[in-house]
Structure 1
Amino acid sequence: MATRVRPSNKRCAVIGGSGFLGRHLVEKLVERGYTVSVFDIRQCYEMPGVTFHQGDLCDLQALLLALKGTSLVFHCASPSPASDDRRLFEKVNIQGTKTVIQACIEVGIQKLVLTSSASVVFEGTDIKNGSEDLPYAKKPIDYYTMTKIEQEKLVLEACDPKKGLLTVAIRPHGIFGPRDPQLVPILVDTARRGKMKFIIGDGTNMVDFTFVENVVHGHILAAEHLRTDSPICGKPYHITNDEPIRFWGFMSEVLMGLGYAAPRYHLPYTLVYALAILLWLLSVVLSPLTSFKPTFTPMRVALAGTHHYYSCARAKEDMGYKPLVSLKEGIKRTVESYPHLRKNA
């Protein structure tokens, strides 16, 4: 058993605090007067009031050291969905989360806030204003979603007020913002290679994109409302900008804001989706011989061509959630933060 240290209400740990969301969360926590312990496989910045612990998520002893003296843990660590690495997803999202829960129990952590994903209910078909009452996807269409479902179940089932551990899961969707290493850089790289000319489907599908500051706000609200008598204990909550937008409209705004042309030509959704499945099957067959990874996966095509937006009604009612930054302002701030990615930069 780990030696217990009297926890401070203003001392917390952020697991995955060197990542995109994690770093924004750490910065906001420090701004609010918290002393933060960051646990990550890498350290990529320094900040007053922040202690870094570098280690593997499955290393219990390393986690125990990082969590000592804290009462609140944010678990944001997860590989990028784009990696499509089943073993890595299982190690981090499932085995790593089991280790996190064990460490929380041994240290005596009072609150555990998980960064989950709205995609845990997504099967590639339309979701319009979906609530948290939707069932988990029975046939998830990528390994990331499959493991995030198991991760969320582990954390919510660990909620036990009698034993002193309270848990909650935050389900953001389409996170974007300054320092995002995925969405904007990949979008620009694709445009520079002349491959952002096509719209998958008719282009009318509405989706959620969520500015990172609003996701951080949702996490902190959840932590502050997580008490024994709170209705949020052991439950998941959607956190979005609450402003559904056409998927290709959002992409076009970002591209044009950086000086690139918006996509114009339409491709039939069913044709592209069928092609994505064939390419995925081919990659599986060839996996022993080559590292071939298709650009278009079934999940990416589904996200680009279907409706998927979610209701924040429960977060508004139980936590008083309200987006702090509008979608228009979020896009503006994001575009302005990437001057080096502008056309002809």
Structure 2
Amino acid sequence: MATRIRPSSKRCAVIGGSGFLGRHLVERLVEKGYSVAVFDIAQRYEVSGVTFHQGDLCNKQDLLKVLKDVSLVFHCASPAPGCNDRNLFWRVNVEGTRTVIQACQQAGVQKLVLTSSASVVFEGTDIMNGKEDLPYAKRPIDYYTETKIKQEKLVLEACSKEKDFLTVAIRPHGIFGPRDPQLVPILVDTARKGKMKFIIGDGTNLVDFTYVDNVVHGHILAAEHLRPDSPLCGKAYHITNDDPIRFWDFMSQVLVGLGYDAPRYHLPYSLVYGIAMLLWIITFLLRPVVNIKPTFTPMRVALAGTHHYYSCSRAKQDMGYQPVSSAYRPLDRGKNGDIGAVAQSRRTGEEV
């Protein structure tokens, strides 16, 4: 009986590789000598030596064309957290991930690394130095979190040493960096509308913002340490800067970098959260008649007004994780791939 030839461990595919995190991951993998294929709904850039494939995440045949002779898959495709389309979240994060798992198993992929989210344990209340053994949120406060929980469960439950298919989930939090499509654009839009004058709560709440290089580093470490005899199999890992910062201090630095005033006035957290919840209920009830997309959501209020930072101790112990970018120093390094450069580029139209 012929022995099946195992594909090279340096042959990988990045599903969602045209996105913010995906592109950074692709570029770093190429630097490390990996052969990379990208699968996404659209191609948004070019990298020498990288092959791009466009297709439907829910179409297994589209995926199988990309996964031939691939040993490692990174799955970081997801609608943006601010999207309000539950059907889209369900189709991509749940149905799409189920199809990814089936395609990987059929193609003989040995490793699947999922980009999950620390939000899977967040219910809008304080989390301080949270560990991975926190229970999944029983009352997710947006569709993104609801479907990311289901997605992570699917991936981790699929891990099987007997079937030679190993899985791991990376839970980043508050990703920022060059080419950021979320944090800075939302801040710019909000500041232009004069809505960034108020601090929600007392302004002392600590949160994790994670530089994109650290997130990429965590993904690659997980892939390289994921073996049948490793503790990573079927587990989730927090990846952050490992240095929580006051949410409103961070926001103020970014806003000042954009040329806007830092927020100065305080509003009670409970009042603002209650108003946001009421607006969310109203928009939900009106959805059959009119589609309203409020920027003032319960999730955004909760993220702005509570403590939510996470321990990286498991990642340090099991795969030797240490941040490769020093916490928030990139805020002050100008044109060096940092948030300050991103802020300036958003004002000038310049590519960072």
TM-score by length of 2: 0.95
Larger displacement relative to structure 2 (215-224 or 287-296): 287-296
Q: Which amino acid aligns with 2:345?
A: H
Q: Secondary structure at the match of 1:102?
A: helix
Q: Which amino acid aligns with 1:334?
A: I
* 1:23-45 deviation line (CA, Å, top 9, x unaligned): 00000000000110100011001
Tell me whether 1:77 sits opposite 2:82 in the alignment.
Answer: no
Q: Which amino acid aligns with 2:16?
A: G
Q: Which amino acid aligns with 2:71?
A: S
Tell me whether 1:337 sits opposite 2:342 in the alignment.
Answer: yes
What is residue 164 of structure 1 aligned with on the other side? 164
Q: Secondary structure at the match of 1:26?
A: helix
Instruction: Measure, in 1, the Cα distance between the counterparts of 2:321 and 2:5.
Output: 33
Tell me whether 1:179 sits opposite 2:184 in the alignment.
Answer: no
What is residue 209 of structure 2 aligned with on the other side? 209
Contact 1:177 1:331 (C-alpha < 8 Å) held by counterparts = no
* 1:263-309 deviation line (CA, Å, top 9, x unaligned): 11111111111101110110011101111122211111100000000
Q: Secondary structure at the match of 2:222?
A: helix
Equivalent residue runs for 1:228-239 within 5 Å: 228-239=228-239
Q: Give 5+ residue unaligned stretches, structure 2.
A: 333-337
Q: Give 5+ residue unaligned stretches, structure 1.
A: none
What is residue 21 of structure 2 aligned with on the other side? 21
What is the deviation of 1:8?
1.7
Q: Secondary structure at the match of 2:23?
A: helix
* 1:37-69 deviation line (CA, Å, top 9, x unaligned): 100011001111210010110010000001111
Contact 1:260 1:343 (C-alpha < 8 Å) held by counterparts = no
Instruction: Measure, in 2, the Cα distance between the counterparts of 1:5 and 1:317.
Output: 33
Tell me whether 1:55 sits opposite 2:60 in the alignment.
Answer: no
Tell me whether 1:12 sits opposite 2:12 in the alignment.
Answer: yes
What is residue 107 of structure 1 aligned with on the other side? 107
What is residue 267 of structure 2 aligned with on the other side? 267
* 1:41-100 deviation line (CA, Å, top 9, x unaligned): 110011112100101100100000011111000000000010121000100000000000
What is residue 291 of structure 1 aligned with on the other side? 291
Contact 2:120 2:137 (C-alpha < 8 Å) held by counterparts = yes
Larger displacement relative to structure 2 (185-194 or 316-325): 185-194
Instruction: Measure, in 2, the Cα distance between the counterparts of 1:199 and 1:5.
Output: 59
Runs of 4 or more above 2 Å deviation: 327-332, 337-345
Instruction: Measure, in 1, the Cα distance between the counterparts of 2:111 and 2:286.
Output: 45
What is the deviation of 1:336?
1.4
Instruction: Measure, in 2, the Cα distance between the counterparts of 1:200 and 1:66.
Output: 46
What is the deviation of 1:339?
2.5
* 1:142-193 deviation line (CA, Å, top 9, x unaligned): 1110100000000000000110000000000000001011101111221122
Q: Which amino acid aligns with 1:105?
A: Q
Instruction: Measure, in 2, the Cα distance between the counterparts of 1:58 and 1:301.
Output: 33
What is the deviation of 1:343?
8.6
Contact 2:257 2:343 (C-alpha < 8 Å) held by counterparts = no
Q: 1:191 to 1:343 in 2, by over 3 A?
A: farther
What is residue 313 of structure 1 aligned with on the other side? 313
Q: Secondary structure at the match of 1:337?
A: helix
- C-alpha RMSD of matched pairs (Å): 1.4
What is residue 155 of structure 2 aligned with on the other side? 155
